[in-house]
Structure 1
Amino acid sequence: MIIQLVVWPDDRACDRSWLMDQVPGASGIIVMLSDTHTAFSLYSHKAAGPNLRVISTMSVGYEHIDLSAISQRGVKLGYTPDVLTDAVADLSLMLALMVGRNGAETMSLVRNGEWPNSPWSPFGFCGPQLSASPVSPTRTMGFIGFGRIAQATLKRLIPLGVTHCIYYANPSSPPKPSLDAELMTKYGLNSVKRVDLDELAKDSDVVFVLAPGGEQTKHLVNADFLGKMKKTAVLVNTSRGTLVDSEALATALHQGVIWGAGLDVVEGEPQVTADHPLVKEPRCVILPHIGSATLETRLGMATLAAKNLLGGIFEEAMPAELNLKSRT
């Protein structure tokens, strides 16, 4: 079989008009997380035609895909889980450190030329230490979602002297006491425990948000949750912006309800401009969704997306195919 490749030449999301011109007759399509316009026009209106066998997205998330429409047409969907686990875990740890050590505020001080006017003081620019210390020997890390990325993040925290791990999981998923015991023994932790959201908020020194997006998890972190957190606690979100109520978080930061927040994702992104209430908060570190942005990870994602596409076209096993029957 001869494969004809049609490739968008630029390192950015393709123009909608270009895609609509090229897609008719295609057997497979590779799309990006940013291609939200394709869900309705391509799949519901059958712009690709009857030859379409597979859609491969270069992303872990698939909220941009009309799952019902492609399932009805018998089109397979490939995605790229696992490849970005280490990169996102690295970034989660980086954000926790940056927030606790006032990274955003102090970096802007230097960039704005204000360092000479900021004399040293005993508690100047101090923040809550992530690692355990004689002053704070007990450190509890909390996770909303406890999948591969959360566990990889926990692994990176162990050398810092973390003593307790608590996590919130989907209520419909069965408990895994054997996993908890295994991780506790493996990492020498005092405890690994599944808890409800209230306990997670109250007891965590850092809360890492690492759960899937969607209506079921929308605004899990809201004003009520934030109000239960410690004043020295840090919130880190490297999953989906919709899990955190941005307005509630901005209010909590402004009023000193929690210490700070590190966000790689924000609800409504990329429409996050200088006048956004979270951007105005000095103890909020915001990155433009770069969790998977390492050369190694993006190459791995692109390779997996290509292999998924070829598997779907040739009706062979796809390395990472989403089970659409369980999702629609």
Structure 2
Amino acid sequence: MPLLRGKPELELVVWPEDRACDRRWLLENIHGAAGVIVMLTDKVDPELLEKAGSSLQVVSTMSVGYEHVDVNAVAKRGLKLGYTPDVLTDAVADLSVMLALMAGRNGGIGISVVQKGQWTEYPWAPFGFCGPQLSTTAASPTRKIGFIGFGRIAQATLARLVPFGITHCLYSSNPSSAPSSERDAQLAQKYNLQSVKRVDIDEVARESDVLFILAPGGSGTYHVVNETLLRKMKPTSILVNASRGTLVDSDALAKALREGWIWGAGIDVVEGEPQVSVDHPLVKEPKCVIVPHIASATLETRRDMATRAAQNLIAAILGGQMPAQVDLRGFA
């Protein structure tokens, strides 16, 4: 906010509460705006753009994803679209590793036992609360880590996993993207891995000890993790989703956990969030660790995201290079 308030040529209209902006308030106040900063919870559609009027020049979202923005409608009006990649990469990678550890080591079950005052009902046992170890051991010297999507966040997650002794990295990515064999060889050499290899999604599922879902949302990746894919995974494998809830079929994942197709899951995003009640099929599964979409929720990262969103808006309105602009060529 200081960055915006420091521009006297800008008149600010600010939602006054520390919660998601009320849709009605936004529609009532956007008319005549030159730019708008929105969150993931704000639907940018023709209705909103029509309310803004012809003065609108830029939509700046404080997020790396922009599925909440009708990019065709934005492009059709000749508007600029800003977003906040890069600044949240490390925070999301950190949380992805945390979820893998929590799911593998039955962290959700353990925390629940303590918080419900049930610890006395679970005296120590040789294999009590045991789960698959993320790091390699002398008796188990191979660890294969898989990724669906292998962009900035996936590669940052890979870097964090190296000290655990992982040996192989497998990933699947958009079929339209060109292979990056040279980059993969460089990553393998840099991290002393036996291989970094692009394979088909079925092989990623079959071979991975931990499978990280870190691909963009949208129609092309809707329910890419479904019953068919989950049945291919190892019974000791872990699934982590820190991208978008729509990539994972919640009912299929709940079934996989309930019937033991996989060991556990760590989930930051759920399809239909925040409408996730105690009756949700994933909430009912003890081996599913769920946090409420907090992958970027560090003080440092949220400040950086807000700064980037403000910089994008200022540059678009007052002239200058937007730090992060979505390429809208091909839309509209």
In structure 1, distance between residues paired with 2:139 and 2:237: 16
SS at match of 2:329: helix
> Which portions of structure 1, spanning 4 or more consecutive aligned residues, are displaced by more than 3 angstroms?
none
SS at match of 2:197: strand
- Counterpart of 1:20 in structure 2 is 27
- Counterpart of 1:39 in structure 2 is 45
Is 1:319 equivalent to 2:328 in the alignment? no
In structure 2, distance between residues paired with 1:16 and 1:205: 43
Summarize deviations over 1:215-267 as a string: whole Å, max 9, x none.
Answer: 10111111111001000000000000111111110001000110000000011
Give, in angstroms, the shift of residue 117 of structure 1: 1.6
* Partner of residue 256 from structure 1, selected from 257, 260, 264: 260
Give, in angstroms, the shift of residue 327 of structure 1: 4.3
List aligned pairs for 1:141-160, cutoff 5 A. Answer: 141-160=145-164
- What is the one-letter code of the residue matched to 2:143? R
* Partner of residue 66 from structure 1, selected from 59, 66, 70: 70
In structure 2, distance between residues paired with 1:18 and 1:276: 31
* Partner of residue 161 from structure 1, selected from 158, 165, 168: 165
- Counterpart of 2:312 in structure 1 is 308
Summarize deviations over 1:89-140 as a string: whole Å, max 9, x none.
Answer: 0000000000111000011101111111211111111000000011210000
Q: CA RMSD in A?
A: 1.0
SS at match of 1:324: coil
TM-score by length of 1: 0.97
- What is the one-letter code of the residue matched to 1:185? Q
Summarize deviations over 1:126-156 as a string: whole Å, max 9, x none.
Answer: 0000000112100000000000000000000
- Counterpart of 1:136 in structure 2 is 140
Is 1:8 equivalent to 2:12 in the alignment? no
Summarize deviations over 1:195-229 as a string: whole Å, max 9, x none.
Answer: 00111111000000000000101111111110010
In structure 2, distance between residues paired with 1:21 and 1:196: 48
Is 1:190 equivalent to 2:160 in the alignment? no
- Quote the sequence identity (%): 64
5+ long unaligned stretches in structure 2: 1-7
TM-score by length of 2: 0.96
- What is the one-letter code of the residue matched to 2:227? A
* Partner of residue 77 from structure 1, selected from 81, 98, 104: 81
Give, in angstroms, the shift of residue 69 of structure 1: 1.1
Aligned residues: 325
- Counterpart of 2:4 in structure 1 is none
- Counterpart of 2:251 in structure 1 is 247
Residues 75, 331 of structure 2: 8 Å contact kept: no
Bigger mean CA offset, 13-22 vs 120-129: 13-22
SS at match of 1:258: coil
In structure 1, distance between residues paired with 2:175 and 2:230: 20
In structure 2, distance between residues paired with 1:95 and 1:326: 37
Residues 75, 328 of structure 2: 8 Å contact kept: yes
5+ long unaligned stretches in structure 1: none
SS at match of 2:162: helix
- Counterpart of 1:116 in structure 2 is 120
* Partner of residue 269 from structure 1, selected from 259, 270, 273: 273
Give, in angstroms, the shift of residue 9 of structure 1: 1.6
- What is the one-letter code of the residue matched to 1:129? Q
List aligned pairs for 1:220-235, cutoff 5 A. Answer: 220-235=224-239
In structure 2, distance between residues paired with 1:40 and 1:252: 39
* Partner of residue 170 from structure 1, selected from 165, 171, 174: 174
Give, in angstroms, the shift of residue 3 of structure 1: 1.3
In structure 2, distance between residues paired with 1:198 and 1:304: 37
- What is the one-letter code of the residue matched to 2:78? G
